[in-house]
Chain A
Amino acid sequence: MITDETIAYAAALAKLELSGGERERLKKDLSEILGYIDRMNELDTDGVEPMSHVLPVTNVFREDVVTNGEDGENLLANAPDRSGDSFRVPRTVE
């Protein structure tokens, strides 16, 4: 069962603000979904190695050299707010 505290904790981790109505809806949805997900526990996975990648690929190395060119202006063009060559955000340190 998902409690108000659990929803608040997950929302804080995901950096989301939830309205009261939405919190109730999500509490119900998540209870149902996680209840279904709990079925995984029926399957015995003792001694099974967790799989994080499907292909037998391990580390992929390349030379540590810069290959992308000077693209700053192009990247900054999408910024919601900028100041010169920087991204601008509201003051965070008083």
Chain B
Amino acid sequence: MKLTGLTAVELGRRIKSGEIGVREAVEAQLDAISAKEDKYHCYITVLREEALARADEVQKGIREGRYTSPLAGVPVAVKDNICMRGVRTTCASKMLEEFRPPYSAAVVEKLEAAGTVILGKTNMDEFAMGSTTETSFFGETKNPWDITRVPGGSSGGAAAAVAAGEAFAALGSDTGGSIRQPSAFCGVTGIKPTYGTVSRYGLIAYASSLDQIGPIARNVEDCAALLELIAGRDERDSTSVTREGPAFGSALSGGVRGMRIGIPRGYFSGGLDAEVKDAVLAAAGVLQEQGAEVEESELEAVDYAIPAYYVIASAEAGSNLSRYDGVKYGYRAPGCGGLQEVYKKTRSEGFGEEVRRRMLIGAFVLSSGYYDAYYGKAMKVREVIRQGFDRAFERYDMLLGPTAPTTAPKLGASLGDPLKMYLGDIYTVAVNLAGLPAISLPCGRDRAGLPIGLQLIGRPFGERELIRAARSFEQTRQWRLPAAGCISDGRGGAAEREAV
């Protein structure tokens, strides 16, 4: 078993015991990045020198007892919409091509305080708008299972890095599925936490009432450990909350006996791929065998989640991105004669097509004459959707369904038809509208060998139950990385027996 095939928690354990040095782990990870980056392009910026210098500091800190977290010494990656002081943070946009934030995001401070080593900034759709990572100004990321396919998006670089063995774990952000859908397409595990669980301070805003940062990793245990490190109230994000039970790392055991799981009927019709459907229902069967009570359920207003989402997300994006005006930071179009020209040229040249499209939708749905019919209506639909989940959670502890209606599409097949791309978000966006937690984890592969994602949706602050159920399911499966062999938790479990 190669070092880079270990899970994050197992690597942390071996670093703590002294079996593996932090520098050794960081060098192994940087070597893997050097070997694979040309093929997959997971990163926008790799922090080679910084990571090596940091490795020695962390090793010293572990020895002196300053870094005691389970992930101390573990190399991790962060999505390039998360600010790191002095480190180029681009949001995959020409607009921020040379932007060096004057401060670090709250989650970066927490990763640093926990003794992780940040290796680099991962690729994404421009300003997190997209479902394929193809709208990146810096070029597409390729799916490590099949390089003719997209990794999903918008956190496609993060999910691909974890799958390809270019990072042990990563932070993504999820506004309408941007952690869960690329996790599904890349065969890794990702958690979108309850809104308010993780501080958004230093996350470059897309749609503030929906955005949430979360972990992407190779298994449930790693995700839980990483989520525990980054959760918590932060005065600098007034929407972050003090919550019960953030000890996610201890939520793994206990199984699903007695848990009530609903399968929304509306999630299994329409454009759902037959192989995805079979794999997800088979996963439901496994949970039932393990003692959960699984049954079909109702979920109201599901069909209206995508329309409401694209109105609200575009409106908030239009407002948030109005700050990019070529004055204070970021790109400024050259040779402008007046201030209005600076605004218009800067924004037209600095934003890519998908961002411009959403700016237009946002401006339209908020404009006088259309506000009530679109934005006002969408906020009411959002409330109906939330009430629908409330009613479902009176009967069930969690809901189960697919993460995405298909496996990863081919590169170049999505951007030509934006509406069709938006419809691919059918199973993920409602979760953001209602602020709920959800996890995506692998539950099989289709005939082409592409990973299929299972999504579990919890009640507000129900992450511990999601983690427990997901772990219970995961232990029945054998997981492998696409190229680098199998994932090892170091305990000689099912995963390792299948080692190549």
Assess whether A92 is interfacial by the CB under 8 Å rule. yes
Cβ distance A9 to chain B, nearest Cβ, rounded Å: 7
Cβ distance B310 to chain A, nearest Cβ, rounded Å: 6
Cβ A78 vs Cβ B383 within 8 A? no
Cβ distance A70 to chain B, nearest Cβ, rounded Å: 12
Interface size for B (C-beta < 8 A) is: 70
Cβ A48 vs Cβ B360 within 8 A? no
Cβ B419 vs Cβ A33 within 8 A? yes
Partner of A40, one of B238, B308, B342, B460: B308
Cβ B348 vs Cβ A89 within 8 A? no
Cβ B364 vs Cβ A6 within 8 A? yes
* Beta-carbon nearest neighbor of B196 in chain A: A55
Cβ B363 vs Cβ A14 within 8 A? yes
**Chain B residues closer than 8 Å to A6, beta-carbon distance:** 364
Cβ A33 vs Cβ B363 within 8 A? no
* Beta-carbon nearest neighbor of A68 in chain B: B103
Cβ distance A74 to chain B, nearest Cβ, rounded Å: 4
Cβ A45 vs Cβ B381 within 8 A? yes
Cβ A53 vs Cβ B209 within 8 A? yes
**Chain A residues closer than 8 Å to B433, beta-carbon distance:** 54
Assess whether B100 is interfacial by the CB under 8 Å rule. yes
- Complex-state Cα separation, A77 to B99, whole angstroms: 10
Assess whether B377 is interfacial by the CB under 8 Å rule. yes
- Complex-state Cα separation, A32 to B423, whole angstroms: 12
Cβ distance B289 to chain A, nearest Cβ, rounded Å: 34
Q: Which B311-366 residues sit within 8 Å CB-CB of chain A?
A: 311, 318, 322, 325-332, 336-345, 347-348, 351, 353, 356-357, 359-364, 366
Q: Can you list 21 pairs linking A and B with CB atoms under 8 Å apart?
A: A10-B363, A14-B360, A16-B360, A29-B357, A30-B357, A30-B364, A33-B310, A34-B374, A37-B307, A45-B377, A54-B195, A54-B386, A54-B434, A54-B460, A55-B241, A57-B239, A75-B328, A78-B328, A89-B327, A91-B338, A92-B339
Across the A-B interface, give the 9 residue pairs with the lowest CB-CB distance, nearest first.
A54-B435, A50-B379, A80-B332, A78-B329, A45-B380, A13-B363, A51-B383, A60-B238, A14-B363
> Which residues of B does A touch, CB under 8 Å?
99-100, 102, 195-196, 209, 235, 238-239, 241, 301, 303-304, 306-308, 310-311, 318, 322, 325-332, 336-345, 347-348, 351, 353, 356-357, 359-364, 366-367, 374, 376-384, 386, 418-419, 422, 433-435, 460
Q: Besides A48-B384, A54-B433, A80-B332, 10 other CB < 8 A contacts?
A: A15-B344, A16-B359, A22-B356, A29-B357, A49-B380, A52-B209, A78-B102, A89-B339, A90-B341, A92-B340
